[in-house]
Structure 1
Amino acid sequence: MKDGKDGKGWMRRQAAQIVGLLPEDDDEALQLLEMARAMLIQTASPDAGNRDRNVIRLLSEGSAAKEAEND
């Protein structure tokens, strides 16, 4: 098996890529991961018909927050 005994090599490689993109500050990195987790849970809700709309709403909210920070 290419991914080792537990078969999770692919997941570890993906996690390493994500960690490489996180801010250096641990608190900021954890906040970012929690936001990503919340977005995933919200968009993966059982109400699959609204998934695209939920993603668009999340992106819109993020854009609005970023614009407010720049003002």
Structure 2
Amino acid sequence: MDESRTSAQQIIGARIRELRKAAGISQAELARRVYVSRQTVGNWEAGRTLADAQASSFSPRSLRPRWTT
């Protein structure tokens, strides 16, 4: 994997983590909301993989605080 892709994955992963924490939800809860495993969310946040077609339901609405969903 080239360096720019790895860097982009890490930036995206950090942003997902930041938004998830700001929303006050766990990895497991985010995973439930976007129909993936908790491990998948962990991989996104660690920059190991990117969200793809399997997570097409991933949207900013998934990261809303519990009291607004």
TM-score by length of 2: 0.40
Higher radius of gyration, 1 or 2: 1
Q: TM-score, normalised by structure 1?
A: 0.39
